[in-house]
Structure 1
């Protein structure tokens, strides 16, 4: 019986591996990338989280590995420890199906470097996956020998740039063979990335896979105003009203993450914290506890939006609109995965109005909500006032002071007082007329 991936002419063990993973049909990025990688072309691949990108490059590259050569053949960089671990797990899963041993090793900051060096003295791995800083450490010490590698993958290149690791990736790429194949994957391709791409890539093919749906149709996307409300109290109510299976709360800074987490803990919730200020050992411990469902509530920076894959997230709460609006989709994309339903809630204040409008212009629709009587219910459209104003443009010159004078005139007052009010009205009109004439000059 044939498998849909058979048309890519992959080794039998790779077909067996992806069958066991549960891959039934290639995703769009896999359909486009795998044949081009097999032709030896450099690629700039643009796709969002959850597109199947990882196996789009792992499968054709593993197809090229010669297990009999005990040397580095593939180098893959990832900007975060968690992403590197996920890539290493995916690569190790493929390698485990090979009849001949394929050695996959990860080099990640915060792990025991001495143990890694000792292993390297006995054998060089076939596949190297790691964070840029640690890779540079073991490469520049001449413990890891990557000059034999024919293939390099830079995963999440825009995130690599944002986190300040592109210089390290440059040092790694400089050690590879000049005629090697370079694959760069990125959600976006910022201008600051261009010099690196021109330096190391040979006439690359750009493969772009657009998200046909900005947000999965399994996600309910809610918008809740924080005007006049204590935001952390509001977050606590949202977390406890619906009893989420697993809720992920995003904030823009590690300081605010810590503040939210502390307040929620005071209110009796068991909360996990993920941000770049936590040691790698602590982050790995927290991630294990999350995967074991020891936590129901997680508060995190955008590290968890693209850098960490947490299964079973039923609710995402944006405590703040992300500073980089591209991260809105990454955050919301943490829920509603694998055809499961999810709820994404964005909290916003008056200062966030323009950002919300920009997000809406990208094709994202919000459902306005509010909490009433302990329930989350439909609310009014925040643009309703503007829509009403549009219907009543002729009333924009309404003057509350003259309106008040008219109301006074309707009262039973002495004739002299009526004339006094009338004069004030006329003076008011004359002043307004003079101001208008000055403005029009």
Structure 2
């Protein structure tokens, strides 16, 4: 097992790791840090919550120099993810003495562009973190000098592609030197991303960090039916029956998020909201308040499912199964991070059986539970019930007798003989049914013909 001390890093980085209580590298960090330190371009693929952020931040800070120019650019597809990375970067930067502290530029949409321009007029940052659109905008204005950068990080590349931000990232990459070190990190590497990777990556090191499950094995997944009960009521009791350090409740729409948050507030819970109707500045203030533990409960849409790392989330509740199943993985991945235990509870109605089965097909294993009299009790395994239902094909009395007889006289091949007999019986029934249908059809035609002649 590797240790951070194996990497011979700057003392300030070790001080930051100690302050964050990082004892040993995660698998993705163990694989990627040595390669990145060598200056190689990399493509890293691993599940959410695996420690990708520090896999690239640690070697980046090791290589940063005192030169007052842009050296590294980190692009993200969302403001929240950019804020998370900036926060992690500042935790390391703050360990340097003031005169040697790396300057970090944070540029995302919805923030004060004029202020950012004034700051850039005073000097260039060494580390740029932000969304592709704002970074490119400041570059086109002639304020942000990207051409000096030697390293480009594209975080959450699949989300960058899905969000339509790849053309902006392409423009940023095109403005950088040919000997660029590029790092691409993502939970998945879609086929549509391949042309971009081939364009800029020359013989990269590709690391796919395997996992036994699609989510961390530290997460307990519970499935709770809500037949005949109010979801609002069930969620309230699930939030208050224990004492979660931090609980995230995901809804499928912003309207539902508002409705649920209002209900919880009416029941005297202090709740934060994160969704598309929250203005960027207010969202930033809300995220800061959450980071400072001013809120214990957060209601959010899938806007928060990717790229937001809220420390200490030990409970995630799905108000419903998301329309895009991939988001289920990212929702649940907000807990159980960095080998910490977490619980994810998914609520479902009887008409969502197919959606639940689709989630299970992803490799998710649920523990069925029922909410009864203020506690969660073991429920019936849905899969076992479906299998039992499938096995209730009715046989004729003669066939049942044959099966019983064969079971009494167990001989080699008896199961095969039973199956063959059942199949033969089914074929016979089908022929009889076909003949009856033909006979009925002929009778109907004859009747219609007779009626025509009478007219």
Q: TM-score range by the shorter chain?
A: 0.7 to 0.9
Q: How far has the Cα of 1:396 moved from its partner? A: 9.7
Q: How far has the Cα of 1:60 moved from its partner? A: 1.8
CA distance in 1, matches of 2:239, 2:96: 45
Residues 265 and 93 from structure 1, CA distance in 2 versus in 1: closer, same or farther, beyond 3 angstroms?
A: closer
CA distance in 2, matches of 1:335, 1:17: 23
For 1:294, the equivalent position in structure 2 comes to: 294
For 1:38, the equivalent position in structure 2 comes to: 37
Q: How far has the Cα of 1:43 moved from its partner? A: 1.1
For 1:193, the equivalent position in structure 2 comes to: 193
Other structure's SS at 1:376 match:
strand
For 2:423, the equivalent position in structure 1 comes to: none
CA distance in 2, matches of 1:81, 1:437: 68
CA distance in 2, matches of 1:237, 1:59: 42
Is structure 2 residue 86 aligned with structure 1 residue 79? no
For 1:383, the equivalent position in structure 2 comes to: 383
For 1:65, the equivalent position in structure 2 comes to: 64
Q: How far has the Cα of 1:258 moved from its partner? A: 2.0
Q: How far has the Cα of 1:105 moved from its partner? A: 1.5
Other structure's SS at 1:394 match:
coil
Q: How far has the Cα of 1:314 moved from its partner? A: 2.8
CA distance in 2, matches of 1:17, 1:236: 38
CA distance in 1, matches of 2:155, 2:229: 41
For 1:238, the equivalent position in structure 2 comes to: 238
Q: How far has the Cα of 1:213 moved from its partner? A: 4.2
TM-score, normalising length: structure 2: 0.81
For 1:393, the equivalent position in structure 2 comes to: 393
For 1:372, the equivalent position in structure 2 comes to: 372
Residues 240 and 25 from structure 1, CA distance in 2 versus in 1: closer, same or farther, beyond 3 angstroms?
A: closer
For 2:414, the equivalent position in structure 1 comes to: none
Q: How far has the Cα of 1:319 moved from its partner? A: 0.9
CA distance in 2, matches of 1:147, 1:380: 61
CA distance in 1, matches of 2:217, 2:203: 37
Please give the per-residue CA displacement for 1:100-126, whole angstroms capped at 9, x wherever unaligned.
332112112222221211111121111
TM-score, normalising length: structure 1: 0.84
Q: How far has the Cα of 1:395 moved from its partner? A: 5.1
Comparing 387-396 and 288-297, the one that deviates more: 387-396
Residues 181 and 336 from structure 1, CA distance in 2 versus in 1: closer, same or farther, beyond 3 angstroms?
A: closer
How do 1:337-348 residues align onto structure 2 when only pairs under 5 Å count? 337=337, 340-348=340-348
CA distance in 1, matches of 2:323, 2:379: 26
Q: Which runs of 5+ in 1 are unaligned?
A: 398-429
Residues 214 and 149 from structure 1, CA distance in 2 versus in 1: closer, same or farther, beyond 3 angstroms?
A: same
Is structure 2 residue 110 aligned with structure 1 residue 110? yes
Other structure's SS at 1:256 match:
helix
Q: Is the 8 A contact 2:47 2:215 kept in 1?
A: no
Is structure 2 residue 123 aligned with structure 1 residue 127? no
Residues 31 and 121 from structure 1, CA distance in 2 versus in 1: closer, same or farther, beyond 3 angstroms?
A: same
Q: How far has the Cα of 1:387 moved from its partner? A: 2.8
For 1:88, the equivalent position in structure 2 comes to: 86
Number of equivalent positions? 404
How do 1:26-425 residues align onto structure 2 when only pairs under 5 Å count? 26-67=25-66, 69-98=67-96, 100-337=100-337, 340-394=340-394
Q: How far has the Cα of 1:432 moved from its partner? A: 11
Q: How far has the Cα of 1:339 moved from its partner? A: 5.1
Q: How far has the Cα of 1:40 moved from its partner? A: 2.5
Residues 26 and 291 from structure 1, CA distance in 2 versus in 1: closer, same or farther, beyond 3 angstroms?
A: closer
CA distance in 1, matches of 2:150, 2:285: 35
Q: Which runs of 5+ in 2 are unaligned?
A: 398-428, 439-455
Other structure's SS at 1:152 match:
strand
CA distance in 2, matches of 1:396, 1:205: 63
Residues 97 and 343 from structure 1, CA distance in 2 versus in 1: closer, same or farther, beyond 3 angstroms?
A: closer
Q: Is the 8 A contact 2:41 2:183 kept in 1?
A: yes
Residues 339 and 64 from structure 1, CA distance in 2 versus in 1: closer, same or farther, beyond 3 angstroms?
A: closer
CA distance in 1, matches of 2:102, 2:291: 27
Alpha-carbon RMSD across the aligned residues, in angstroms, is 2.7
Q: How far has the Cα of 1:96 moved from its partner? A: 3.0
